[in-house]
Amino acid sequence: MNEAPVGQTLVTIRRLLLVVMFLGIVGIETELLLIGHYEGVTQRIPLGLLLLAFTVLCWHSAKPRRASVRALQMTMVLFIVGGAIGILFHYLGAKEFQLEVNPSISGVALFWKVMRAKAPPALAPATLIGLGVLGLTYAFRHPALGGDVEESRKTI
């Protein structure tokens, strides 16, 4: 059996992670635009984060250097933070709606009603957290962080 060297395997995995990040970012951005997720400032935050990430990924794809990897890492941390805050916003919005519909509901019953609500879906912003973790995984021990420019070009 002919096995690829470990270095080539890592290059392939990094390339696949990069493609998945691009697809995820474009897909989520498109979905948010299609559902009109831009009515207020807080709804525009994920749109801005996704646009930022797309820009950073394009830069990194063109020039896989230390600065672009660091920018990618910072953007992915923002994704994780933004996703967590988004979950809170979605939960509070759904809770407010459920209390308007049924003011007598409370406790565990309210929690489950909110978690099962379709609008806004409480856990939808977790997709940003997933992409953030994926991006940090991509950047983990990236060759460009070690200063090897030639090796970092092979990872794209």
Of all residues in the chain, what percent carry a pLDDT higher than 90? 86
pLDDT at 149 over 60: no
pLDDT in tens, 30-69: 999 999 999 999 999 999 999 999 999 999 999 999 999 9
Predicted local confidence at residue 126, as pLDDT: 97
pLDDT at 22 over 70: yes
Cβ-proximal residues to 147 (8 Å cutoff; 6+ apart), any chain = 66
How many angstroms separate the CA atoms of 63 and 67, rounded? Answer: 9
pLDDT at 153 over 60: no
Considering the chain, what is the average pLDDT of its residues? Answer: 92
Mean pLDDT of 71-92: 97
Mean pLDDT of 134-144: 96
Q: Where are the domains of the chain?
A: 6-154
Predicted local confidence at residue 5, as pLDDT: 84
Cβ-proximal residues to 53 (8 Å cutoff; 6+ apart), any chain = 21, 25, 75, 76, 79, 131, 135
